[in-house]
Amino acid sequence: MFPDSKIDTKYSYARTKTGAVVQSLAKSTHKTLAESTVIIPIQESHDNTGEGIFKVLDGELRKREISWENV
């Protein structure tokens, strides 16, 4: 937030200021997440076990070259 650590040591946060900063960050983060979220249509699974659902989801992610680390 500050280019110089000397400025940072003199700056203090009270409850109101902290709340305003968090509110601002939340709005920008929400906007970024909303813009980058992609809904992937997936096929219906006839195997409704956890393993069956995982296989369908894993196949869809692989087909789109999406790593599980990005989910």
Task: Output the tens digit of pLDDT for each of the chain's 71 residues.
Answer: 556 667 667 666 677 877 887 887 777 776 666 676 777 777 777 888 888 888 888 988 898 888 888 77
- The answer to whether 56 and 43 are in contact (CB under 8 A) is yes
Per-residue confidence (pLDDT) for residue 5, from 0 to 100: 67
Q: Do 63 and 31 sit in the same domain of this protein?
A: no
SS3 content of the chain, % helix, strand, coil (to 5): 65, 0, 35
CA dist list (Å): 69 to 16, 23, 38, 55, 60 = 36, 28, 15, 16, 15
Q: Do 29 and 1 sit in the same domain of this protein?
A: yes
Number of domains in the chain: 2
Q: In sequence order, which ranges of 11-70 are alpha helices (DSSP H)? A: 15-36, 50-63
Question: What distance in Å separates the CA atoms of residue 57 and residue 11, rounded to the nearest whole number?
Answer: 48
Per-residue confidence (pLDDT) for residue 8, from 0 to 100: 67
Q: Do 29 and 50 sit in the same domain of this protein?
A: no
